[in-house]
Amino acid sequence: MMSRGGAQQIGIRDLTTIDDLSQLKAVEKEVWGMADEDTLPLTLAIACKAAGNIFVGAFDKDNDKDKLVGFAFGFLGREHGQTTIHSHMLAVLDAYRHLDLGSRLKQAQRERAVAMGVHEMTWTYDPLQSRNAHFNFSKLGVVSDTYKVDFYGPETSSMLHRNGTDRLWVRWMLNSRRVRDRLAGKSTNARAETLDAMRLLAPLVSFDPSGKPGRADLAESLARLRVSIEIPGDILEVERTDMGLAREWRDATQWAFREAVNAGFVVAEFCRSIRGQQGPGAYLLQRGTVSELIPEV
């Protein structure tokens, strides 16, 4: 496991050569446990890179050789009549996690997108993964107004895709104050406001006394301006110990997100603790559109 001090030595730079790009497969295989056929083909990576898409990597100098220990890959997209970057993959090897490398990779990816004149980056993630929820909403400042059911199909070879592949489609408004503040570490006010709001909310899905997901009355919840949705602190552990329970969490949260998004709510924040207890977390959704939530975009 790398130390925080050691992480300063790890450089973030573009992947440029075939040698750089050929290191992607090993990182994908370790991080997602993927079979070869689900990894990015080297020829496609080379062509994507040559056509101007973004590959940034975190490199550890290992015996004078640059070893790839994390990367972000995004390609050009077109959404709402605007050119976007769709960030397809972000990964950091286990031994290098929690050292801010994920954030540094996203910052580098953002800088390159902004330099290309792009204002919005999108990507998807599993809303049951509390770590990613915290990373995406709290550290980076994304918002979401779209829930995709079984985005990659019912399963893939990845060990992270055993409980279906539902995804939140998140939007990162690259030049917004919200995003700039979060990247500058100024999320304290937002966090305090979110915690305050959470205290007053009756969640649409919450832990019942036995640890299962309980559902609230839909009409009553959606008549409010804000709703919350609770999730377990470590869904991978739930999957390991009780796949049936993991499925119940998938079904309940899928129901809640779809109903709320259809009723005009936007996923705005995620909080790592509920009722002062670390571990489980909760999303905060509010009625309105993304442009109401981020007015300057």
Give the binding site for ligand COA (CB under 6 A): 31, 90-92, 97-103, 123, 125, 130-132, 134-135, 139, 233-234, 272
Instruction: Find the residue with minimal CB distance to ligand COA.
Output: 102
Q: Cα separation of 212 and 249, whole Å?
A: 8
8 Å CB contact between 127 and 257:
yes
Rounded to a whole number of angstroms, the minimum distance from the CB of residue 134 to ligand COA is 4
- Whole-number minimum distance, CB 264 to ligand COA, in Å? 25
**Which residues, at least 6 apart from 102, have a Cβ–Cβ distance to it below 8 Å?**
70, 90, 92, 135
CB of 103 to ligand COA, least distance (A): 4
CA 259 – CA 91 distance, rounded (Å): 31
Given the complex with ligand COA, which of 67 and 272 has the nearer CB atom?
Answer: 272
Least distance from ligand COA to the Cβ atom of residue 121, Å = 12
Report the residue number, 45 or 92, with the smaller CB distance to ligand COA: 92
Contact by Cβ (8 Å): 181, 120:
no
Closer residue to ligand COA in complex, CB, 125/265: 125
> 280: which 2 tokens?
């489980």
Q: Quick one: 101 or 222, whose CB is closer to ligand COA?
A: 101
* Smallest distance, ligand COA to C-beta of residue 270, A: 9
Nearer to ligand COA, 90 or 143 (CB): 90
Q: Closest separation between CB of residue 91 and ligand COA, Å?
A: 4
Q: Which of 278, 211, 222 has the alpha carbon at shortest distance from 255?
A: 222
Amino acid identity, position 262: N
136: which residues sit within 8 A by CB, 6+ positions away?
A: 125, 142, 170, 270
Q: Which is nearer to ligand COA, 102 or 164 (CB)?
A: 102
207 touches 230 (CB < 8 A): yes
